[in-house]
């Protein structure tokens, strides 16, 4: 099966119908003195770690958040498009090795340093996996990742940068229609623990994928004062309708 077919099948078996919900503190710093978030830490551990964790959360919607089937590591490599095994080339390679590293990353460094997943080997079959979902109250605003991010293959064509920015925008624009945007200031980006270069390059990729856009607009300089002068800022929008209605391209976009 292709990665697209594996993703579609996995979503269907997950039982999810609309979205994956994550608390705001998964992406945004909440306490003074903190310098990172679970999202930013997974980003620094690499694309595979971030995509694998979000996918495992999507697949485990009910407590105790255990996978419904035991899967070998090469299954996840195929699902996320890192490797395609077939009868002519049945031996797992670099894609599976990347999954193994990502699994090890997720087995440590989670809440209270207990890990984001636990794995128990089942000889000859793979691993039983239980997923630790992000802790925190699910109060508005929170992150909602549409199920089409997986079922239409979008997660497999996004880089880690683009996925990082996308999750942040899902929080910033929570509950807003496509024609309502928001400015994301340098202070906002600091609370997301995302660097300016990562933000700019991730946003550029989302624009190329037609999943987001930005416009320069004039807004009130300081809404808390009597100064009603306007200044130009960049306002960001998500193209949710496009993501929900279209399959992803077959290859990542060329940004050269």
What number is the average pLDDT over the span 137-160?
A: 95
Residues 6+ apart with CB under 8 A from 202: 159, 161, 162, 163, 164, 165, 166
In this structure, the answer to whether residues 127 and 212 fall within a common structural domain is no
**In the prediction, which pLDDT does 110 show?**
78
**In the prediction, which pLDDT does 89 show?**
65
Residues 6+ apart with CB under 8 A from 153: 3, 4, 7, 247, 248
**In the prediction, which pLDDT does 109 show?**
78
Q: How far apart are CA 59 and CA 131, in angstroms?
A: 9
Residue 152 maps to a domain: no
Q: How far apart are CA 216 and CA 23, in angstroms?
A: 29
What are the tens digits of pLDDT across the range 13-56? 999 999 999 999 999 998 888 999 999 999 999 999 999 999 99
In this structure, the answer to whether residues 117 and 177 fall within a common structural domain is no
Decide if 212 contacts 206 (C-beta within 8 A).
yes
Residues 6+ apart with CB under 8 A from 128: 66, 67, 70, 119, 120, 122
- Which of 131, 148, 180 is the C-terminal boundary of a domain? 131
- Gyration radius from the chain CA atoms: 19
CA 117 to chain CA mean position, Å = 17
CATH code of the domain covering residue 188? 1.10.10
Residue 145 maps to a domain: no
What are the CA-CA distances from residue 133 to residues 26, 214, 220, 246 (Å)? 10, 31, 39, 28
In this structure, the answer to whether residues 12 and 62 fall within a common structural domain is yes
Q: What is the DSSP letter of 184?
A: -
In this structure, the answer to whether residues 95 and 189 fall within a common structural domain is no
What number is the average pLDDT over the span 238-250?
A: 95
In this structure, the answer to whether residues 11 and 127 fall within a common structural domain is yes
Residue 254 maps to a domain: no
pTM of the prediction?
A: 0.92
In this structure, the answer to whether residues 105 and 175 fall within a common structural domain is no
**In the prediction, which pLDDT does 225 show?**
47
In this structure, the answer to whether residues 106 and 169 fall within a common structural domain is no
In this structure, the answer to whether residues 20 and 94 fall within a common structural domain is yes
Q: Domain tally for the chain?
A: 2
**Backbone phi and psi for residue 145, each to the nearest 5 degrees, phi listed first:** -95, 115
**In the prediction, which pLDDT does 244 show?**
96
Q: What residue spans of the chain are helical by DSSP H?
A: 3-14, 38-44, 47-59, 73-79, 94-106, 148-151, 154-157, 160-172, 186-191, 196-208, 240-245
Residue 13 maps to a domain: yes
The whole-chain average pLDDT of the chain stands at 90
Other C-beta atoms within 10 Å of 208: how many?
A: 15
In this structure, the answer to whether residues 222 and 110 fall within a common structural domain is no
Q: How far apart are CA 226 and CA 111, in angstroms?
A: 44
In this structure, the answer to whether residues 15 and 127 fall within a common structural domain is yes
Residues 6+ apart with CB under 8 A from 89: none
Residue 142 maps to a domain: no
**What percent of the chain shows pLDDT beyond 70?**
92
Residue bearing the bigger pLDDT, 86 or 164: 164
* Gap between the terminal Cα atoms of the chain: 31
Q: How far apart are CA 26 and CA 65, in angstroms?
A: 17
What are the tens digits of pLDDT across the range 44-71? 999 999 999 999 999 999 999 999 899 9
In this structure, the answer to whether residues 36 and 101 fall within a common structural domain is yes
**In the prediction, which pLDDT does 222 show?**
54
Kindly report which listed range (29-33, 227-231, 243-247) carries the lowest average pLDDT score: 227-231
Residue 229 maps to a domain: yes
Kindly report which listed range (124-133, 141-150, 164-173, 217-226) carries the lowest average pLDDT score: 217-226
Residue 252 maps to a domain: no
Kindly report which listed range (70-79, 174-183, 210-219) carries the lowest average pLDDT score: 210-219
Residue 222 maps to a domain: yes
Task: Give the SS3 label for residue 155.
Answer: helix
In this structure, the answer to whether residues 95 and 173 fall within a common structural domain is no
Structural domain including 46 reads 3-131
């Amino acid at each position: 099966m292709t990665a697209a077919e594996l993703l579609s099948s996995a979503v269907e078996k997950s039982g999810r119908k609309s979205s994956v919900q994550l608390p705001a503190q998964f992406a945004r710093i909440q306490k003074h003195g903190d310098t990172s978030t679970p999202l930013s830490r997974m980003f620094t551990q690499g694309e595979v770690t971030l995509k694998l964790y979000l996918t495992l959360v999507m697949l485990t919607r009910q407590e105790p958040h255990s996978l419904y089937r035991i899967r070998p590591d090469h299954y996840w490599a195929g699902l996320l498009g890192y490797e395609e095994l077939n009868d002519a080339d049945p031996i797992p390679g670099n894609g599976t090795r990347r999954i193994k590293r990502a699994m090890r990353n997720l087995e440590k460094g989670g809440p209270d340093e207990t890990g984001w997943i636990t794995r128990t080997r089942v000889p000859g079959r793979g691993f039983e996996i239980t997923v630790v979902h992000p802790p925190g109250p699910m109060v508005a605003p929170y992150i909602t990742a549409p199920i089409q991010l997986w079922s239409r293959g979008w997660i497999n064509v996004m880089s880690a940068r683009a996925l990082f920015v996308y999750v942040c925008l899902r929080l910033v624009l929570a509950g807003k229609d496509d024609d309502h945007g928001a400015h994301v200031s340098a202070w906002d980006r600091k609370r997301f623990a995302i660097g300016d270069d990562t933000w700019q390059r991730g946003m550029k990729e989302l624009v190329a994928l037609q999943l987001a856009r930005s416009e320069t607009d004039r807004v009130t300089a300081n809404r808390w004062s009597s100064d009603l002068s306007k200044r130009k800022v960049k306002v960001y929008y998500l193209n949710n309708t496009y993501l929900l209605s279209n399959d992803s391209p077959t290859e990542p976009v060329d940004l050269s």
